């Protein structure tokens, strides 16, 4: 079958890989000159099934007010006259119950665990390398209340059989020796030993090269302007390189996915939530993290990527605005400067932002639509790197008419009614 994948972020490229493996004739189209130049470019680098959880949870509305008022707070809302923004925020609130949280988290962990296993298999099969490490991730708590609040997550992880450890200060230092220098700054941590780390941009580019070897055609630098429907099917995509057609289509346009679906009468609650990162060269190995340390107070992830430290975080609800705001960088500088003061050279750091394609229930939208040949693979929010291989494989299985290895019915857009 001829399949056109719209989008060459990590999700589009992973979809293309598994579709090509399943024997399809695949073309990928994207407006950027190369794969992974938008949200998949400089994320925090965590492949973290254990940390897979929706942002919407019990107690979050109260915490959100605190975060909005905090210096270096992890959340900023810039209200706009955009109905999609307000509807999405109302849907987030509706997901802040214990019952919804448990359903959403279990669903996310299922996909993320599957995805991490596929990533390992892909490494073994292809030898792909991307500054990866398999040394777990550590959520670091500065306050005792944060440590106590992990009990619920621990229970869900235990049910799903995901290994995890609650650590005291010494335990955290055993996992991340550089933290010995700042032991007075934290009270404990929660470690997920099976989590991994790696550079998503590097991975996507190398996977795209493997795809090209398998015959996948990449049409980079092509803007998709609109999609056309005929007789309950997608007829093709109007682009600035002409009208592109295929037997089936996978829409993987990240935060921009709802914009092309809306004129077709298809509505998915995916909204952009801006995040920022800095990437600094390591100047002292012993003072740098060995894996990811998630500074829970500021919701900032500090990750070792080869000879660099990547620091990512903050959630700015501001529509499609890509302004790089110095105040947001100050939060990242503050967190890494506090926990790993001598690890990296912040004066040489690069500064970046990207739009997380967020759903209100944290779960991506993967599966069929009411148009018989249009499939979605989008809405991966905070965890697109973690969930990429699993999402790509699931969409390839669905399009190929094969039963997927994990349950997929509750990942499709039909869950929104």
Contacts to ligand FAD by CB under 6 A: 7-12, 30-32, 36-40, 43-46, 223-224, 252-254, 256, 275-277, 301, 312, 354, 356-357, 378, 380-386
3-state secondary structure 61-110: HHHHHHHHHCCCCCEEECCCCCHHHHHHHHHHHHCCCHHHHHHHHHHHHH
- C-beta of residue 76 within 8 angstroms of C-beta of residue 46: no
* Smallest distance from ligand FAD to CB 162, Å: 16
Nearer to ligand FAD, 173 or 369 (CB): 369
- Eight-class DSSP state of 282: B
- C-beta of residue 296 within 8 angstroms of C-beta of residue 74: no
Nearer to ligand FAD, 10 or 173 (CB): 10
337 carries a ligand binding annotation: no
7 carries a ligand binding annotation: yes
* Smallest distance from ligand FAD to CB 296, Å: 15
4 carries a ligand binding annotation: yes
Nearer to ligand FAD, 173 or 374 (CB): 374
3 carries a ligand binding annotation: yes
Alpha-helical segments (H) within 233-380: 257-261, 326-339
Nearer to ligand FAD, 173 or 376 (CB): 376
14 carries a ligand binding annotation: yes
187 carries a ligand binding annotation: no
User: Which residue, 381, 400, 380, is CA-closest to 390?
Assistant: 380
Dist. CA 379–CA 382, nearest whole Å: 9
Backbone angles phi, psi at 189, to 5 degrees: -160, 175
* Smallest distance from ligand FAD to CB 112, Å: 8
Strand, coil or helix: 267: coil
Backbone angles phi, psi at 409, to 5 degrees: -55, -40
Taken in order 48, 254, 2, 374, the sign of the CA dihedral is positive
Nearer to ligand FAD, 173 or 411 (CB): 411
Backbone angles phi, psi at 84, to 5 degrees: -60, -35
Nearer to ligand FAD, 10 or 404 (CB): 10
15 carries a ligand binding annotation: yes
Taken in order 183, 145, 107, 7, the sign of the CA dihedral is negative
* Smallest distance from ligand FAD to CB 54, Å: 13
Nearer to ligand FAD, 30 or 295 (CB): 30
* Smallest distance from ligand FAD to CB 252, Å: 5
Dist. CA 301–CA 45, nearest whole Å: 9
User: Which residue, 38, 14, 19, is CA-closest to 357?
Assistant: 38
Task: List the Cα angle 166/51/201 in 5-degree steps.
Answer: 135
Task: List the Cα angle 34/38/41 in 5-degree steps.
Answer: 85
Nearer to ligand FAD, 100 or 356 (CB): 356
Dist. CA 394–CA 37, nearest whole Å: 24
* Smallest distance from ligand FAD to CB 287, Å: 22
* Smallest distance from ligand FAD to CB 133, Å: 13
* Smallest distance from ligand FAD to CB 10, Å: 5
Which residues are annotated binding-site positions?
A: 3-17
Which residues are annotated binding-site positions for FAD?
A: 3-17
């Amino acid at each position: 079958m001829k399949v056109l994948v719209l989008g060459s972020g990590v999700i589009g490229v992973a979809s293309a890989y598994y579709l090509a493996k399943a024997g399809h004739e695949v073309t990928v189209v994207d407006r950027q000159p190369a794969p992974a130049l938008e949200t998949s470019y400089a994320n925090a680098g965590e492949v973290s099934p254990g940390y897979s959880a929706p942002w919407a949870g019990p107690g979050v509305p109260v915490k959100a007010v605190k975060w909005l008022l905090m210096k270096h707070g992890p959340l900023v809302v810039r209200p706009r006259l955009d109905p999609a923004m307000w509807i999405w925020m109302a849907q987030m609130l509706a997901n802040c119950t214990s019952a919804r949280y448990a359903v959403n988290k279990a669903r996310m962990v299922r996909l993320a665990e599957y995805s991490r296993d596929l990533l390992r298999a892909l490494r073994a099969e292809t030898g792909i390398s991307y500054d990866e490490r398999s040394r777990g991730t550590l959520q670091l708590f500065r306050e005792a209340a944060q440590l106590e609040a992990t009990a619920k997550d621990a229970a869900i992880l235990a049910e799903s059989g995901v290994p995890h450890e609650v650590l005291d200060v010494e335990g955290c230092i055993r996992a991340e020796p550089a933290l010995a220098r700042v032991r007075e700054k934290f009270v404990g941590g929660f470690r997920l030993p099976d989590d991994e780390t790696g550079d998503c941009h590097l991975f996507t580019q190398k996977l795209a090269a493997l795809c090209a070897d398998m015959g996948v055609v990449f049409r980079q630098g092509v803007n998709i302007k609109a999609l056309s429907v005929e007789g309950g099917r997608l007829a093709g995509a109007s682009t600035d390189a002409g009208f592109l057609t295929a037997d089936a289509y996978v829409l993987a346009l990240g935060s921009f996915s709802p914009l092309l679906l809306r004129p077709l009468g298809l509505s998915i609650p995916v909204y952009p939530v801006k995040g920022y990162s800095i990437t600094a060269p390591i100047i002292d190995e012993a003072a740098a993290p060995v894996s990811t340390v998630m500074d829970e107070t500021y919701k900032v992830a500090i990750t070792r990527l080869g000879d660099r430290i990547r620091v990512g975080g903050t959630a700015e609800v501001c529509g499609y605005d890509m302004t790089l705001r110095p105040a947001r960088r100050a939060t990242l500088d503050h967190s890494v400067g506090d926990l790993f003061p001598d690890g990296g050279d912040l004066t040489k750091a690069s500064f970046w932002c990207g739009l997380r394609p967020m759903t209100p229930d944290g779960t991506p939208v993967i599966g069929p639509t009411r148009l018989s040949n249009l499939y979605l693979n989008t809405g991966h929010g905070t965890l697109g790197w973690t969930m990429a291989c699993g999402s790509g494989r699931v969409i390839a299985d669905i399009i190929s008419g094969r039963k997927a290895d994990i349950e997929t019915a509750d990942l499709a857009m039909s869950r929104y009614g």
